[in-house]
Structure 1
Amino acid sequence: MDMVRTKDPAVRSLLIARAAHMLRVREPVTLRSLVDGTGVSTMAVYTYFGSMDGLWRAVRQEGFRRLATRLETVGKTRDPVRDLAALGASYISHALAEPDLYRVMFDAGFELEDPEQADQTLHHLVETVERAQSGGRLHAEADPLTLATQSWAIGHGLASLVTGGPLPHDALANGVPMLTALYVSNGDDPVRCRRSVARGWRDMAA
């Protein structure tokens, strides 16, 4: 009980990770099944999250928190198109590394604790699109949010199909031609664009 009373962050993280895993493997999630074998009581769920719904909100939030942390590691270079591809590859890397949390991130049945943190992950792409426009790589009249959303959709589609099982890992290579086609259609030079996208994709994959 002391562990619960002092709100040990490790307990909170343990319950979040266990809940996400149980969803992924389709185990029934109840108060008792959640804490079974963890060494904490069912009261821990109420102590840390208030309710089971609070737990699921925290699980979703944790996914976006980790994604935001990963995207922040993508350094800015003189080539914003390379950086856009690197952000996409980093997004997919997060999905592959955190498949349990990734699945729950997009379950709209549970609200987020901090929606702004989720919005911030998209802002990384918006900001990079704006840099590409300022540098003359992409059409200035294009809407940055629309382009960022289209880039996100490509990464999300590939990540979902690979982590979900229908497509093999090798299918991720399709990200290079798909992103290249998107950015070329919005003004970038075909040869230069493919080179930039391939470099960003490769750098983050490595």
Structure 2
Amino acid sequence: MPRRADPALRSLLVERAARMLAAREPVTLRALVEGTGASTMAVYTHFGGMPGLWSAVRQEGFTRLAARLAAVPRTGDPVHDVAAHGVAYARNALEAPELYRAMFDARADLADAEAADATFQRLVDAVARARDEGRLDPGTDPLALATRSWAAGHGLVSLVVQGVLPAAVLAPQASATTVALLTAAGDDPDRCRASVERAWAAG
């Protein structure tokens, strides 16, 4: 009789696979379940095989990011809220660096690509609100500006997660980059700096 899926074991295997991947350890069925009390069949029970496991690892990264972004409160300052999404993104990466690395490994398909895309859409929506409330130029393209902001932030966070840069540089460098992008899009420099730095100080 086939065993039923166990959510706790599934989560354990996902996180273990992410750690092994980050540590550049060979991820075999036997190595993955070693010490878990599970058999190699658990990978088939929960994921249908190794391709399904890697898909689940990527999806888990985006699931956690979505939860982190959903917890960002809406304030009366839309530029603060744009920056707060960057803070949440960085915190998610620093708290689960193995999953952060894995979630951008496009060799594995995502089970729910739309859910992953929705995490980026939150930033697009935050930029659109800043434009609509008069902090940015009326002609600002939220998608283009959010893409530039995410690309810069992702690059910085990745360097910190990989140990190339110390974590101490993250807040000041991310703040400076965000201020530069948003002031170029029309926000007042002093007001923008205050909004962005307040978000990073809180985060």
Fold conserved between structures, TM > 0.5: yes
Give the corresponding residue for 1:86: 84
Aligned pairs (5 A) from 1:132-171: 132-171=130-169
Shift of 1:183: 0.1
Question: Residue type of the partner of 2:166?
Answer: P
Distance 1:85 1:157 in 2: 16
Aligned pairs (5 A) from 1:20-169: 20-169=18-167
Q: Does 1:183 align with 2:182?
A: yes
Question: Residue type of the partner of 2:194?
Answer: R
Shift of 1:6: 2.4
Runs of 4+ displaced beyond 3 Å: none
Question: Is there any run of 5+ residues in structure 2 with no aligned partner, and where?
Answer: none
RMSD: 1.1
Query: Number of paired residues?
Result: 202
Distance 2:143 2:49 in 1: 35
Q: TM-score, normalised by structure 2?
A: 0.97
CA contact (8 A) 1:21 1:100 kept: yes
Distance 1:201 1:155 in 2: 13
Segment of structure 1 superposing worse, 53-62 or 126-135: 126-135
**DSSP-derived class of the 1:5 partner:** coil
Question: Is there any run of 5+ residues in structure 1 with no aligned partner, and where?
Answer: none
Question: Residue type of the partner of 1:160?
Answer: S
CA contact (8 A) 1:89 1:155 kept: no
Q: Kindly, what percent of the aligned residue pairs are identical?
A: 58
CA contact (8 A) 1:71 1:121 kept: yes
